[in-house]
Structure 1
């Protein structure tokens, strides 16, 4: 297995890169889907008609669709070249991916990744693929089958859970799924999608120890400043994947802020404060941030270099919510940065 490039493991090196220059002009937009259907829950579904329009726009923009692993490696190491790229992913291995989405992508010869929670397949749950269907997909060189945990549980340590119990529980879910995928499909991809997009620094450490890339559900592009165990993806369900904003997402760039300086998302206080250390070439006044369900947030310079702080003016009452920030990057493109916050005191899904 190819090791994660050392350049993204060193906070010092990353910081030096950011003070010398901005990242290369091209970054990677990773798209995240669940169902592609008219008949499944709206919150996690993309209609087939919208899916077709999204693919057509990728075609119209002449954006290359790349395998997730190699595109991630290239984006993190600054080897993307001049053109932005797209990677396509599906979480949970729902039947509609096999019946509706996969044929459309294979017809275009576009690569894609399916993240599988293996217990659902073992138990033959309704609306999930079978092992035979996954094996058929895996026979195509364009398709990667990867790890989404065994049980799709909330893998961040619970407030009332001991460190020892959490270590055993989380490691078992990660490793059992990887072992099952290897035995059933002969695949051992070093790619992991966090269930519900939830992670913290302790869970990230388990992913890094296995030399895996970790993908969340917070929006943004993958670039040189991104963290290998907290990689963003753009959710493409009906509520988030509409066409009027899709071009901006496909052409987005990673906001050049060192991922090592960002919080891991565990809620320290409610509402939380996000601090960003912007490069000297970016002006704090041009940064625009929004909070989930609360609208635009105030961006306050701190008087300490180019640091800004962002805080909502009211607390949140959901388990997960996001601060999303964008900055004009020129040529009609935007830098994009999202942080997902996790309130472990709120009920699990």
Structure 2
């Protein structure tokens, strides 16, 4: 059995219902460096500011794998629970992020792409550094071998060959995690956040948990083959933005229509049906990436049609929806991501 760091044992295993939380916001980072691409980076100073805020305001930073297991088995988390993750195995996580995490006693998860690690790329972690990080709450999970666009066919590749390649990308990392680090948490972050029904079916069959790049909060009702996280770097690195996300709750959705994975030349549209309850529906707001507010048309008291005014350009587009709870202290949050493909990209859309 894997031993848990003392800090984890003191925060994750809350009993009783006092101050219990049934959901988990998860923070997503990439680089911790001031000289790397801003869109995926926080400076060491910004990262320390984030971690200091979590510590000073009583947030309970949990081991991700353990927290998800508790949510799925109806065991409460502590109030103000949160988890910290990184995508890609960048060396600056070890150099600039790890000392801060260690100082604060925070567990964390790094989703690693093993290709550059095995090649000894100087900008990526080594297995010995990861072993050191494990001793202070670090957990390492799957981000594929080569960080591909997982839904694209290679030149001349059949769908059957694509399926086998995707399986191998995942399986090779799982084997390395076990042989090099002793275990795998059986979690994967999809490169670029992209997955489809076939990939998510594969992940479920392997008994794994998958993460996309849509924002939101994890609850028992989430799709555990495509869980949300909150980006906390680049334009989202401001502490004021982070505070709102840390107070987020899962949108109380009963059903989603026309969410899907792919967009066409037509504007995207989806229908959200809320669970029975009293909500501040007049304050529900949805934003379309690059366009501003979405059009909202309430079909009835519980179901709203959310529609973009324009089609997405080629690439990934999203709609984020938020609504204050009755207290006004928290926001319900939901996000859906679509991929608008180009023919030459050879996406597998089924």
Q: What interval of TM-score do these two structures reach, taking the shorter chain for normalisation?
A: 0.7 to 0.9
Q: Is the 8 A contact 2:280 2:323 kept in 1?
A: no
SS in structure 1 of the partner of residue 263 of structure 2: coil
Residue 152 (structure 1) aligned with residue 147 (structure 2) = yes
> 1:201 and 2:197 equivalent?
yes
- The number of equivalent residue pairs is 325
Match of 1:321 in 2: 317
TM-score (norm 1): 0.86
- Give the counterpart of 2:273 among 273, 277, 280: 277
Q: CA deviation at 1:262?
A: 6.9
Per-residue CA deviation, residues 258-285 of structure 1 (Å, 9 max, x unaligned), is 5776734222553211211112323543
Q: Deviations over 1:80-101 (max 9, x none)?
A: 3461311001111101100111
Cα distance in 1 for residues equivalent to 2:161 and 2:286: 38
Distance 1:238 1:132, change over 3 A: same
Aligned partner of residue 222 in structure 1, secondary structure: strand
Matched residue, 1:14 = none
Structure 2 residue ranges without an equivalent (≥5) = 2-19, 346-350
Give runs of aligned pairs for residues 1-349 of structure 1, distance below 5 A: 26-81=22-77, 83-138=79-134, 140=135, 142-158=137-153, 162-258=158-254, 263-268=259-264, 270-281=266-277, 282=279, 284-303=281-300, 306-331=302-327, 332-345=329-342
Q: Is the 8 A contact 1:146 1:192 kept in 2?
A: yes
Once residues 105 and 149 of structure 1 are traced to their aligned partners in structure 2, the CA distance between those partners, rounded to angstroms, is 25
User: Conserved in 2, the CA contact under 8 Å of 1:319 and 1:346?
Assistant: no
Shift of 1:77: 4.1
Q: 1:340 to 1:48 in 2, by over 3 A?
A: same
Task: Point out which structure has higher relative CO (alpha carbons under 8 A, 6+ apart).
Answer: 1
Shift in CA distance, 159/266, structure 1 to aligned 2, threshold 3 Å: farther
Q: Hey, what's the Cα distance between the residues in 2 that align with 1:159 and 1:328?
A: 45
The structure where strand makes up a greater share of residues is 2
Q: Is the contact between residue 297 and residue 304 of structure 2 (CA under 8 Å) also seen in structure 1? A: yes
Q: Report the Cα offset of residue 166 of structure 1.
A: 1.8
Deviations 1:214-253, CA, capped at 9 Å, x for gaps: 1111111111221111111111112112111211101111
Contact 1:253 1:335 in 2 (8 A): yes
Per-residue Cα deviation, 1:146-179 (whole angstroms, up to 9, x for no partner)? 1111110011254985320221111010101111
Alpha-carbon distance in structure 2 between the residues aligned to 1:134 and 1:283? 46
Any stretches of 5+ residues in structure 1 without a counterpart? Answer: 2-23
Range with bigger deviation, 338-347 or 198-207:
338-347
CA 1:279–1:286 in 2, change beyond 3 Å: closer, same or farther?
Answer: farther
For 1:11, the equivalent position in structure 2 comes to: none
